[in-house]
Amino acid sequence: MSVRKVAAEAAGPGLAINVGNTRVALGVFGPNGLLGTFRLASRIDRSADEVQGLVTPFLEPFAPLLDGAWCGVASVVPARTPRYQALARSWTGSEPYLVRGDRAPGLFVDVPDPAAVGGDRIANAAAAGEWSSLPCIVVDLGTATHLEVVTSGPTFIGGVIAPGVSTAAEALFTGTARLAAVELEMPEHVLGRTTRECLQSGIFHGAVAQIEGLVRAVRKELVEQGYAGSGRQAASGRASAEKASSERAPSARAAKGRPAKAASAPKGRSGQAVSVLTTGGLAPVFAPESSLLRRVVPELTLQGIAILARRAALEAAATRGR
């Protein structure tokens, strides 16, 4: 197969898999974007055959499209990673790219130990570089609540990890004798009149306050450290940021078949205002209640896996052509 053909296939269809603590998400991508998704519970006791049986009805219609396609896996559960790498390999015939902080094509990872950063967070950061202006805070609301901070480059510089809303609520219910579980929904008033209303208010409004507080604190720190501007400073910084963006190494999307270059990490500073992207299973619940979380990208992590896997495939194609 020619290098040109390999590069064309790398930019085309593929399979992205995100292995989380609670659920596993699969996404099939076509040349123009995400075609379909499927989710299953993330259980350690499932055999490879069981997993294949569960995903086959979803993947089978895409089988002709996936033959020879790229594939990528992000996993925060090491014990389950090989199972889903094998799954991706069996449907595409390609070696899956494993999302890692120390090998993230087109993304600078400016933290003390890049390899220790979860694959889902690296995928979110990569997606932010394509889906948003920078600097950007990604708010991922799932089993854990975590924020990824991405500055110009794009450069992942760290973030925040906190217990997820449901995780914290379950700990409260299991650790107390007289507090029964309640459904996660916004109560009519912050001031609860019954124990049930008090719990719902504390869980829901407490979560919104925590998320907004973290976003504001991180945004303030980015401005103080020179990664971002605010008000007049942000407006005056846009021109220089756009100039820097045009001079930086092209992404796989802009490179049109060439792998992204990453010669040296930029400082990641600009005069731009901070943007916010929200994703995760609980994003539809909380985003409508906060003016800070209005831009929701439901499958941002899968999008990031796809971006990185495509870039890795393009790099492999370029290497074969040398």
Which residues does the annotation place in the binding site?
18-25, 118-121, 140, 143, 195
- Which residue carries 């906060």 as its tokens? 290
d(CA 132, CA 183): 33
d(CA 297, CA 37): 14
Q: Where are the beta strands (DSSP E) in the chain?
A: 14-19, 23-30, 33-41, 70-75, 97-98, 108-109, 136-141, 144-151, 155-163, 275-279
Residue numbering of the annotated binding site for substrate: 118-121, 195
Active site residue 49: no
* 67, 102, 110, 120: the active-site residue: 120
d(CA 139, CA 127): 12
Residue numbering of the annotated binding site for K(+): 140
Question: Strand 275-279 relative to strand 14-19: parallel, antiparallel, unpaired?
Answer: unpaired
| Encoded amino acid at 239, one letter | A
- Which residue carries 């303030």 as its tokens? 220
Q: Which positions are catalytic?
A: 120
